[in-house]
């Protein structure tokens, strides 16, 4: 399918974080290609591993989140195809990496766990029927997650610049207290 998954173009709080990112929901993409019993999966891969990704032949072959460090890819967000139809209500975005319970060792179902590194990652949607893959979108452009600043890169002098503000605020507060005392003394 010619559709290319992408981040929402609008400003969105938490669009990209250190472990997650938001994707536009693929509305109307699978209409005409799917049966009501089909499901749509999101394949997530490290950008340098997306070319090596092979579509699974059945649900049993779907690469799991726990395999990401070694397999370099996994599939998640299994959704009934009807949720992405043109008329389906729903949130305008999907959150990739938002399920922190995925790190539980006993969890076996397809999981949408936090992404372990800044990436970059690439994603695609895969339409699967009971006999295997039926259609797929193109891979997204590489998505790089945010990284925290190194403590050594923080300027230690910046807090000193705020000391002048503290002095001015203290003087103004003192003057306010003196003025309030004078008003109360005049009234009393």
pLDDT digits (tens, 9 = 90+) for 171-188: 878 877 777 787 778 876
Domain count, the chain: 2
Looking at the structure, do residues 165 and 76 belong to the same domain, yes or no?
no
Looking at the structure, do residues 94 and 67 belong to the same domain, yes or no?
yes
Q: Is there a domain that residue 154 lies in?
A: no
Looking at the structure, do residues 117 and 167 belong to the same domain, yes or no?
no
The model's pLDDT over 101-147, given as tens digits with 9 standing for 90+, comes to 876 666 667 889 899 898 899 999 999 988 889 899 999 999 999 88
Looking at the structure, do residues 93 and 170 belong to the same domain, yes or no?
no
Looking at the structure, do residues 183 and 133 belong to the same domain, yes or no?
no
Looking at the structure, do residues 65 and 93 belong to the same domain, yes or no?
yes
Let me know if 160 is exposed, middle or buried by CB neighbors in 10 A (0-12, 13-18, 19+).
exposed
What is the pTM for the complete model shown?
Answer: 0.74
**What range defines the domain where residue 181 resides?**
160-187
Tell me if 81 sits within 8 A of 38, measured CB to CB: yes
Looking at the structure, do residues 170 and 136 belong to the same domain, yes or no?
no
Q: Which pLDDT score is estimated for 157? A: 60
Q: Is there a domain that residue 113 lies in?
A: yes
């Amino acid at each position: 399918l010619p559709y290319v998954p992408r981040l929402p173009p609008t400003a969105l709080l938490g669009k990209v974080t250190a472990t997650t990112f938001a994707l536009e929901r693929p509305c109307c993409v699978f209409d005409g290609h799917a049966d009501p019993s089909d499901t749509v999966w999101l394949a997530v891969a490290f950008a340098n591993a997306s070319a090596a990704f092979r579509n699974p032949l059945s649900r049993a072959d779907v690469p799991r989140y726990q395999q990401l460090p070694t397999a370099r890819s996994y599939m998640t967000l299994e959704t009934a195809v009807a949720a992405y139809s043109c008329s389906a209500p729903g949130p305008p975005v999907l959150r990739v990496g938002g399920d922190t319970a995925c790190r539980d060792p006993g969890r076996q179902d397809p999981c949408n766990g936090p992404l372990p590194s800044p990436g970059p990652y690439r994603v695609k949607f895969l339409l699967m029927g009971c006999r295997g893959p039926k259609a797929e979108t193109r891979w997204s452009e590489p998505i790089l997650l945010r990284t925290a600043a190194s403590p050594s890169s923080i300027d230690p002098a910046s807090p000193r610049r705020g000391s002048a503000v503290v002095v001015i605020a203290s003087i103004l507060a003192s003057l306010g207290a003196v003025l309030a005392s004078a008003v109360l003394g005049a009234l009393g």
